[in-house]
Amino acid sequence: MRNEDIGVFYAEKVMGWELVGNEWIQNGMSTQWTAKGPDSFSPQTNPSHMWHVTKNLEQQGVSVEVNNNNCTLKNMETGITLASASGSTRFDAIYNATTLMF
């Protein structure tokens, strides 16, 4: 999958954003990111963008546990594992686990 497609997955499925033109919109308000270009939302390559993804998951009641290149997503209330996956990088592991959940 292309990095651009991964960014779209995170923006739509995890963050709940809508793409209007080239701009990501949340609750009718502009986010600071675009789908393409220098301001594109790229959590698969940008640690600060991935931080936003993990914080959003936590707001949804999902803990993100990363150990080396393994990621486990758990229900924060019950501790039940929702998804677990590995990848060639930490970013890949988080993406792989997240796709299992959404």
For residue range 70-87, list pLDDT tens digits in order: 999 999 999 999 999 999
Among residues 28, 34, 27, 29, the alpha carbon closest in space to that of 11 is found at 34
CATH number (domain holding residue 52): 3.30.2120.10
Q: What are phi and psi of 5, to 5 degrees?
A: -65, -35
pLDDT value of position 1: 65
Cβ–Cβ < 8 Å for 69, 84: no
pTM for the full model? 0.86
- Residues of the domain holding 10: 3-101
Q: Which conformational region is residue 76 in: left (phi greater than 0), alpha (psi within -120 to 50 degrees), or beta?
A: alpha
User: How far apart (Å, rounded) are the C-alpha atoms in residues 78 and 23?
Assistant: 36
Give me the number of domains the chain comprises. 1
- Between CA 72 and CA 54 the distance in angstroms is 12
